[in-house]
Amino acid sequence: MIEVPQRKDALAGPADASFAEITQRRRGRVRRYFYEHPLAMDAVVVSCYVLLALPTIISSVIEGKWLVTSFLLLIALALWFRRQSPIHVAAAVALLEIAATILNPWGSNVSAGLWFALYAVASARKRPVAFVVLGAASLPLSLLYLFMWTSPSNMDTLREVPENFHLINNIATAVTIMLSNLLATGIGISVRERREHEAEIAAWVARTTQLGKVTERNRIAREMHDVVAHSLTVMVSLSDGAAVVVKKDPERAGEVLGELSRTGRNALADMRRVLGVLRDDSGRPAPLTPLESGHNLSKLLDGFRTAGLPLHYAHTGPALPADPAFELTVYRIVQESLTNVLRYGRSLSRVDVQVARDGDLVTIDVLDDGRGTRDGNAKGSLGTGQGIAGMRERAGIYAGKIGAGPGKNGGWAVHAELNWNGDKGE
50 closest CA partner among 74, 76, 82, 70: 76
For the segment 300-328, the average pLDDT, to the nearest whole number, is 86
Angle ∠(100,101,105) on CA atoms, nearest 5? 130
The answer to whether the CB of 171 falls within 8 A of the CB of 148 is: no
What integer pLDDT is reported at residue 15 of this predicted model? 38
pLDDT tens profile 104-156? 877 767 788 999 999 999 999 999 999 999 999 989 888 888 887 665 544 44
Strand pairing report for 361-368 and 412-419? antiparallel
Length of the chain measured in residues: 426
Angle ∠(171,117,26) on CA atoms, nearest 5? 115
257 closest CA partner among 273, 276, 237: 237
Q: How confident is the model at residue 378 (pLDDT cuts 50, 70, 90)?
A: very low
pLDDT tens profile 211-258? 777 776 776 777 676 667 667 777 777 777 777 777 777 777 777 777
Phi, psi of 81 (to 5 degrees): -105, 15
For the segment 314-334, the average pLDDT, to the nearest whole number, is 87
297 vs 301: CA distance, rounded Å: 6
More confident position, 381 or 191: 191
What integer pLDDT is reported at residue 327 of this predicted model? 87
More confident position, 10 or 313: 313
What integer pLDDT is reported at residue 118 of this predicted model? 93
Proportion of the chain in helix, strand, coil states, percent, rounded to 5:
65, 10, 30
334 closest CA partner among 242, 224, 415: 415
More confident position, 291 or 257: 257
DSSP secondary structure letters along 32-96? HHHHH-HHHHHHHHHHHHHHHHHHHHHHHHHHT-HHHHHHHHHHHHHHTTTTT-HHHHHHHHHHH
Going by C-beta distance under 8 Å and a sequence separation of 6 or more, which residues neighbour residue 302? none
What integer pLDDT is reported at residue 7 of this predicted model? 40
184 closest CA partner among 119, 93, 114, 88: 119
